[in-house]
Structure 1
Amino acid sequence: MTPDDVGRYAESLPEVKRKGTDARPAWYVHDRLVVRVHDQDTVVIRVPLGERERLLETYPDAFGVPPRMEAHHKVEAYLDRAPAVAVHAAIDLAWEMQRR
């Protein structure tokens, strides 16, 4: 996947809007973060903590949680090795959590 693929998928979800900068675009629903580009190979996705563990167990090579994110509802997705289905699943979780 690429950051453009991530953006297209995020924008396909109802009420998701692109914000951020050209270098670091982000997508929000109701002004709440869904996904943000960190760099060309990494995006940060906001997910419920309980679901984060499931994502990490199901796709151990696709996702990670650096120490700075351990206390937050976030996971990094590594686009160079994450299958699209995994990234889409995480974005869907973020969208569900944030649209409420």
Structure 2
Amino acid sequence: MDLGELHELATSFDGVTRTTREGRARWELGGRLIAREVDATQVVVRVPFDLRDQLVLQHPDVFSVPRRFASHMLVVAALDSDDPDTRGALEEAVAGAWELQRHE
């Protein structure tokens, strides 16, 4: 998956728009973060803690939680992972982010 495909995925959810901050893409719902570009191969996705733990456990080649994000509802996703279900895992993460943000 690349950033273009992530854009298509994220904006397929009702109300999600792409913005840019400091030259990097962000996907938001009503100004609330869904995902943001780290670099060409990584994004940060805002997900509930329980989903974050599940994603890291089920797809350790795709998702990680750097120490600085341990107390935040954030997970880093590797777009270039060799996991055969990278797309499905990212769909689950973005759906979780959308659900979280549409209710806040």
Q: What TM bracket, shorter-length normalisation?
A: over 0.9
Amino acid at match of 1:66: P
2:101 aligns to what?
98
- Give 1:46's aligned residue: 46
Identity of aligned residues (%): 36
Partner of 1:23: 23
Q: How many Å apart are 1:20 and its aligned residue?
A: 1.7
Is residue 80 of structure 1 aligned with residue 84 of structure 2? no
Task: Give 1:22 deviation, angstroms.
Answer: 7.9
Given residue 89 of structure 1, which amino acid in structure 2 is its aligned partner?
Answer: E
| TM-superposed deviation, 1:23 | 3.4
Cα distance between partner residues in 1 of 2:18 and 2:2: 16
The whole-number CA distance in structure 1 between the counterparts of 2:32 and 2:22 is 19
Letter in 2 for 1:72: H
Deviation track 1:28-52 (CA, whole Å, cap 9, x = no partner) reads 1121100111100100000001111
Please give the alpha-carbon distance, in whole angstroms, between the structure 2 residues aligned to 1:92 and 1:28: 12
Gaps of 5+ in 2: none
> RMSD of the TM alignment (CA)?
1.2
Alignment: residue pair count: 100
SS of the residue corresponding to residue 77 of structure 1 reads strand
* Structure 1 residue 16: Cα displacement: 0.5
- Tell me, in whole angstroms, the C-alpha distance in 1 between the residues paired with 2:87 and 2:62: 10
Aligned pairs for 1:60-79 (under 5 A) are 60-79=60-79
Q: Comparing 22-31 with 69-78, which one deviates more in the overlay?
A: 22-31
Q: TM-score, normalised by structure 1?
A: 0.95
* Structure 1 position 21, deviation (Å): 4.0
Unpaired runs of 5+ residues, structure 1, are none
Report how far residue 62 of structure 1 moved.
0.5
Alpha-carbon displacement from aligned partner over 1:45-87 (angstroms, at most 9, x marks no partner): 0000111100111101110001111110000000110511111
Q: Which amino acid aligns with 2:102?
A: R
